[in-house]
Each structure stands twice: as structure tokens, then as C-alpha cells.
Amino acid sequence: MSTDLQQQLFQAIKSKQPQHISLVDEVAATLDISTDSAYRRIRGEKPLSLEEVATLCTKYALSLDSLLHLQSDGFLFRGEFFMPEEFRYKNYIANYERNMKNISSFQNRKIFFLCKDIPPHHYFGVREIAAFKHFFWMRTFINAPEFLTKKFAIADYPDELFELGKSALHYYNQTDSVELWNMETVNNMLHQIEYYDAMNLFAHEEEKQLIYKRLEQLVLHIEKQADAGFKFNYDDESRKPLSTFQLYYNEVILGDNSVTVTVNDSKMVFIAHNIFNYMATTDVRFCENTYRNMQNLMKKSTLISNVSERERARFFHYLRKRIATGTQTSS
């Protein structure tokens, strides 16, 4: 590998690491070499072998095509296959938390969410909603045997999962973000509640009504953040600003739950697949294309955070009305 290309590779790796992480230590650990050997490779004094290039590209999800400026039709993604018999909900939340924590560790960071559904970080902090989503996915999608013989009860939600979810929300709240919502964004959640009501899967009738109430309160919290233009904790009456929050309303385009992240001078895209998993890529062409598409959608949407009070009121009035309709139908 040429010295210039080798330096580009290490620069790409460095841009993906928080500032407090040592590039030398990372390379040494990844290649299982001494720090002195890592220094010589980073300075270009010793060429990387093909095996070492492959190891580094795999570890940091880098596309060699992009580094070589090759115009191929392929894009490099990393991720995992969803296996129902091996699925653990704790691992799903832990992975979400790990990604949020890593993103929040960069000095310059921003996340763009295209929201077909309410993003998980929002309901992670509301125990009743987090409990319902957990039960719904484990019983209805995973078909976990231990969930098939019982009805939903909020008390069954493990404290460990709730605390892990709150940690993911904490790191999300430390990062500036943009979210694109549609009138349909809350509908999946409402359809799930209505389905469980029709199937008589609530152990306690009052808990179904409580979930509707908590969903309405969550939507109100998001509206208050949009009004302020920044995030604050769910139960913080003083509204201490944590990071910026931009909310866009798109009247006609439904999202696909994709996530675009910018950290320092790099970008990463997460694409949902198999409900719980994400494929991730740092491929420059793919990420730039996705980022441009997000910017284009933002231009075709209405910013309803911190401005456009009338549009914001109309949008959230519709969401509350939709929740109220569900409440009345299931009563």
C-alpha cells in the first residue's frame, strides 16, 4: 500500500474515534502489534500488509473501494442476522445504548432520524410504554415461549431493561438531533395497543388506559422539546437544556426509520432490517448520498421546533386526537 493511501486509511480511522481515544493504542490492539510497530505504520515508515488492511477495514467498517476511489456498484455494510431463537431483548437495548454512547463521545456530533415509527429512545424513558413494546415484540414477533402463555402486565418488565433503556436515552439527550415525523408516526404504536385489546391480552384493563395516558404524556413532552428547540429530561420541570432538538413535519413522505450520523468530518448511516437490527456503513458515497437525501427531505418539510407555532400546534393536536380516538374505541 502506498504511503499516501496508508495515511488516508489511518486518517479515516482517526475520524471515527473520539478525541480521547489513542489512535496508536487502537491500531496496536487491532493488529496485535506493539505501539512502536503501530507508530511506524501510522507514519508510513512500514507498509501495511493486505491482511492488516483487511483487518482494519473490517474493524472500522471502512470501504476499501472508497479509499481507492473505485467507482464500483457495491457498498460495505456491517450488521447481523436476526435469529428469533437466539434473540435477547437486553442485547437489543444494550446495542442501542452502545451506539448512542459512542456517538455522544465525539466533540462534533449530530443525528438525523427519519421516523416511520416513534424512535425507541423516546419510549425507553417511560416505563409503561417500554414495558408494552418489550412484551409486544417478544410475544407477537419473536414468539418467545415464556410470553405466549401470559397476558401483558407492566409489573413484569424487568428493572434491568428499564435502567438500560434510560441509559440509552441519556446518551441520546447529549447529542444534537434532527427528527422527521409524519402524521403516521404514532400509528404503529396505536395499532399494536388496539390489536392487543382486541385479543384480550391486557392482564388489567386499567393498564391499557394507562399506556394511552403515558403515550399522550410522551407526545406532550416531545412537543415541549420542539417548542423549546432543545432536549430536557422527561421529569425535569426546570427544563435544563441538554442538546438541540429540531423536529420537522413532512406531510406526504413516510420515513423508513433510517439514521444518519455525522461525527467530526465523517458520516455513518444505519438502516433498520429484521425489525430489531441495523445495517451500518461508513461508505463515503452511500453516506453522502443519504445525507443529501435527508437534507432534501428537510427542505420539503416544515420545521416545527422553536418556530412555526401554528403548524406545530396543528401537528401535535392531530397526534393527541388520534391517541384519544384509540382510547375511546377501546373503552
The strand pairing partners of 68, in sequence order, are none
Q: Is residue 69 predicted with pLDDT exceeding 60? A: no
CA distances from 27 to 24, 113, 125 (A): 5, 31, 37
Name the band, by pLDDT with cuts 50, 70 and 90, for residue 2.
Answer: low
Q: What is the DSSP string of 188-252?
A: HHHHHHHHHHHTT-BS-HHHHHHHHHHHHHHHHHHHHHHHHTB---TT-TT----SBEEEEE-SS
Higher pLDDT, 223 or 13: 223
| Domain boundaries defined on the chain | 3-60, 84-329
- pLDDT tens per residue across span 163-197: 999 999 999 999 999 999 988 889 989 999 999 99
pLDDT value for 81: 67
Question: 187 with 119: CB under 8 angstroms?
Answer: no
Q: How far apart are CA 118 and CA 88, in angstroms?
A: 21
Q: What is the C-alpha to C-alpha distance for residues 119 and 76, in angstroms, rounded to an integer?
A: 25
Specify the pLDDT at position 218.
95
Query: Among 59, 33, 44, 39, which residue's Cα sits nearest to residue 2?
Result: 44
Indicate whether this model's pTM tops 0.85.
no
pLDDT by residue (tens digit) across 90-139? 988 998 999 999 899 888 899 999 988 899 999 999 999 999 999 999 99
